[in-house]
Amino acid sequence: MNKIKDSVQQVKAFAPATCANIAVGFDILGFAFDKLGDYVTLKKRDDQKIVIESIISEETLPFTTQQNTASLVIEKLCQELSLDIGFSIVIEKGIPLCSGMGGSAASAVAALVAFNHFLKEPLSLHELARFALMGEQQASGAAHPDNIVPCLFGGFTLTYSQNPMKVIQLPIPKLYCVLLHPHMHVSTRSARDVLKSEIALKDYVKQSAHLASFIAALYEQDDNLLSQALVDDLIEPQRAQFVPNFYKIKEAALQAGALGMSFSGSGPALFAFAKTEQAAQAIGQAMQKPLQEKQIESNYWVAPISKNAAHVVFEGE
């Protein structure tokens, strides 16, 4: 039985950047930020090979199938579905490498979403997430879902089980997000390697209270409670070393009116929440100044949290 549509020859998909952890929800919370993202185009081949045709990026990325998240997940999916089909892959990277904004997840997700439109019976988002996690395992050494899930599902997500995959779509706060990228590289592997494998019970209890209060704030649309709860006593102190002047940046953000600020994913990107777009712009500029003191360039984006998930932008013969 042919599982592939004969009429479709190529599909292009977009996958948004994501902000993961959100200070209080290590490896389980994340939201989509579609101000930037990755595009992946799949074109049918006749030789049953998975080939990366080109990568449009300011940085060097691997063309080897097993080392690139976009090609890896397509190869895994073709093997599992026993498909005798090949694809040429074109990757357009909009998310900086090793930035903490879900770049490896976005490439994998965009490839999978494009692939899904070739299938006569498309896979569910939960099924696609399983394959995307294989790409995350390759990229970072850990199959964490906090970038994959918001990229696939859109909005603000809580992943409370990976096997089986279970996702809660949380209320989206009516806030603006500042996503700032210091021009540095911090690999997810390195950022995970510094973390302690055990924590004190009192610290676990304290952080659990922060997480519970933060989620309550989302449902109650209580910005004051959200601000009070947005505190990371576990991960942030261990990763602050990766960004020079980190605590000065945080203080500058809070002084400029941020409801909270912390790492986006494993960093070095940083996020902050603001009540208005004007406030968000001022916060972004304030966050840049402590980096400038260390001669570190940066840029930032401002946008509401996106409801939009990864999606197809072109499908044709």
CA pair distance 182, 180, nearest whole angstrom = 7
193: exposed, middle or buried (C-beta count within 10 Å: 0-12, 13-18, 19+)?
A: exposed
Task: Judge whether 157 counts as a catalytic residue.
Answer: no
What distance lies between CA 175 and its chain's CA centroid?
A: 19
Which residues, 6+ apart, have CB-to-CB distance to 160 below 8 Å?
A: 28, 166, 167, 168
Report the Cα–Cα distance between both ends of the chain, in Å, rounded.
Answer: 21
Measured between alpha carbons, how far is 153 from 73 in angstroms, rounded to an integer?
Answer: 18
65 is catalytic: no
Examine residue 145 and say whether the peptide bond preceding it is cis (omega within 30 degrees of 0).
Answer: no
What tokens does 44 get?
């049918």
- Among 41, 69, 157, 188, the active-site one is 188
> Is 160:310 a contact under the CB 8 Å cutoff?
no
Cβ atoms within 10 Å, residue 1: 3
Distance of alpha carbon 82 from alpha carbon 75, whole angstroms: 10
Convert 200-225 to b/e letters by CB count within 10 Å (16 or more is b).
eeeeeeebeebbebbbebbeeeeeee
Q: In what order do the strands lie in the sheet with 176-182?
A: 260-263, 270-274, 176-182, 298-304
Structure token pair of residue 114: 């494009």
Catalytic residue among 69, 136, 159, 236: 136
Distance CA 304, CA 276 (A): 9
What token pair was written down for 124? 């569910």
Active site residues per annotation: 136, 188
